[in-house]
Structure 1
Amino acid sequence: MKSKIAYGGFLILNTLFFCVSHAQNDSIATVKGFINAKSLGVSLTHEHVMSNFGKPSDSTSFYDESRLMKQVVPYLKGLKEMGIHSIFDCTTAYFGRRIDLLEKISDASGVHIITNTGFYGSANDRYIPKFAYQLSPAELAETWTNEFFDGIEGTSVHPGFIKLAFDSGEPSEIDQKLVEAGIITHSKTGLTLAIHTGENIQAAYLTLKLLNEKGVLPNAWIWVHANKVTDDKILLEMAKKGAWISLDGVKADNVEGYVQRLSKFKKHDLLHKVLVSHDGNGFPAGGAIRQFDAIPLHLIPALKNSGFTQSEIDQLLIDNPRKAFMPSIKK
Structure 2
Amino acid sequence: MIRAVIGDIPPDQLGITDSHDHLFFRTPVMPGQELDDVEAAVAETQAFAAAGGQAIVQWTPHGLGRRADALPGISTTTGVSLIAATGLHRAELYPDGFVDQVRPKLAEIFHAELTVGIGNSQVRAGLIKVAGGYHVLDSHARWVMRAAAEAHHATGAPIAVHHELGTAADAVLDLLVDELAVPPASVILGHLNRFPDQRGHLELAERGAWLAFDGPSRANHATDPWLINCLAALADAGYADRLLLGGDTTTARARGATGEGPGMPYLLAHLRPRIERRLGAQVADAVFTSNPARAFDWSV
TM-score (norm 2): 0.87
Larger deviation, residues 69-78 vs 175-184? 69-78
Whether 1:108 aligns to 2:77 is yes
Residue 48 of structure 2: which of 76, 79, 90 is its match? 79
Amino acid aligned to 2:124:
H
Moved more, 91-100 or 200-209: 200-209
CA contact (8 A) 1:162 1:182 kept: yes
Which secondary structure does the structure 1 equivalent of 2:69 belong to? helix
Give yes or no for the alignment of 1:296 onto 2:265.
no
- 2:7 counterpart (11, 33, 57): 33
CA contact under 8 A between 1:89 and 1:116: conserved in structure 2? yes
| Distance apart, 1:263 and its partner CA | 1.1
Contact 2:165 2:191 in 1 (8 A): yes
- Would you say 1:161 and 2:127 are equivalent positions? yes
Unpaired runs of 5+ residues, structure 2, are none
Partner in structure 1 of residue 290 of structure 2: 319
3-state secondary structure, aligned to 1:219: helix
Inter-CA distance 267–122: structure 2 relative to 1 (3 Å threshold): farther
Please report how far the alpha carbon of residue 256 of structure 1 lies from its aligned counterpart in structure 2 after TM superposition.
Answer: 5.1
Give the C-alpha shift of residue 169 in structure 1.
Answer: 4.7
| Identity percentage of aligned residues | 24
Alpha-carbon separation, structure 2, partners of 1:200 and 1:116: 20
The 5 Å alignment of 1:1-331 reads 27-54=1-28, 63=36, 68-121=37-90, 123=92, 129-133=99-103, 135=104, 139-199=105-165, 201-202=167-168, 204-250=170-216, 257-281=226-250, 283=252, 288=259, 290=261, 291-306=263-278, 308-329=279-300
CA distance in structure 1 between the partners assigned to 2:38 and 2:88 by the alignment: 25
Q: Are the aligned partners of 2:61 and 2:87 in contact in 1 as well (CA < 8 Å)?
A: yes
Contact preservation (8 Å) 1:61, 1:95: no
1:97 Cα deviation after fit: 0.9
SS in 1 for 2:18: strand
How many Å apart are 1:140 and its aligned residue?
2.0
**Shift, 1:77, TM fit:** 1.2
Q: CA RMSD, aligned part only?
A: 2.9
Between 1:225-234 and 1:81-90, the stretch displaced more is 225-234
Number of equivalences: 293
Say which is worse superposed, 237-246 or 154-163, in terms of deviation.
154-163
Cα deviation, 1:183-226, whole Å, max 9, x if unaligned, reads: 11111111111010144644532442342122222222111111
Q: What SS does the corresponding residue of 2:119 show, helix, strand or coil?
A: helix
Which sections of structure 1, spanning at least 5 residues, go unmatched?
A: 1-26
Deviation of 1:28 (Å): 1.4
* Amino acid across the alignment from 1:325: F
Per-residue displacement from partner, 1:91-131 (whole Å, max 9, x unpaired)?
12211111111222222222111001111125466585322
Relative to the length of structure 1, the TM-score reads 0.79
Is the contact made by 1:170 and 1:203 (CA closer than 8 Å) also made in structure 2? Answer: no
- In the alignment, is the contact (CA less than 8 A) between 1:196 and 1:223 conserved in 2? yes
1:281 is displaced (CA, Å) by 4.0
For the structure 1 residues 79 and 166, does the alpha-carbon distance in structure 2 shift closer, same or farther, using more than 3 Å as the test? same
Instruction: State how far apart, in whole Å, the 1-side matches of 2:212 and 2:181 are.
Output: 23
- CA distance in 2 between counterparts of 1:213 and 1:179 reads 11
Q: CA deviation at 1:260?
A: 1.6
Q: Structure 1 counterpart of 2:82, which letter? A: I
Separation (CA, whole Å) in 2 of partners of 1:236 and 1:43? 23
Structure 2 counterpart of 1:145, one-letter code: H
CA–CA separation in structure 1 for the residues paired with 2:30 and 2:252: 16
Change (3 A) 1:282 1:31: farther
